[in-house]
Amino acid sequence: MPEGSSRSLHRTPTLRPGSRRWWPSLQAILAGDRDPALAADPDLHYDDAVELQRLLDALAAG
């Protein structure tokens, strides 16, 4: 991914309101963190929390 791409995606105006809350969790997962609490953040939109949990489950399954 080109340098700065993650920052530009985070600022994309077409994302639904509140959807940027998942971004720090996704960055942590991509950096190697597998803490289930990343998907349990009460500030996450339900759909985002489910997707993060599915990602964590898939990574755990190998």
The predicted-structure confidence for 6-62, as pLDDT tens digits, reads as follows 555 556 666 666 667 899 999 999 999 999 999 999 999 999 999 999 999 999 998
With bands split at pLDDT 50, 70 and 90, how would you rate the model's confidence at 1? very low
| Residues 7, 56: Cα–Cα separation, whole Å | 22
**Residue 46 Cα distances to 7, 13, 36, angstroms:** 23, 20, 15
**What is the pTM for the complete model shown?**
0.72
CB atoms under 10 Å from CB of 55, counted, come to 17
pLDDT at position 14, please? 66
| Residues 35, 39: Cα–Cα separation, whole Å | 8
pLDDT at position 5, please? 56
Domain segments of the chain: what residues?
Answer: 26-62
Residue 29 near residue 52 (C-beta atoms within 8 A):
yes
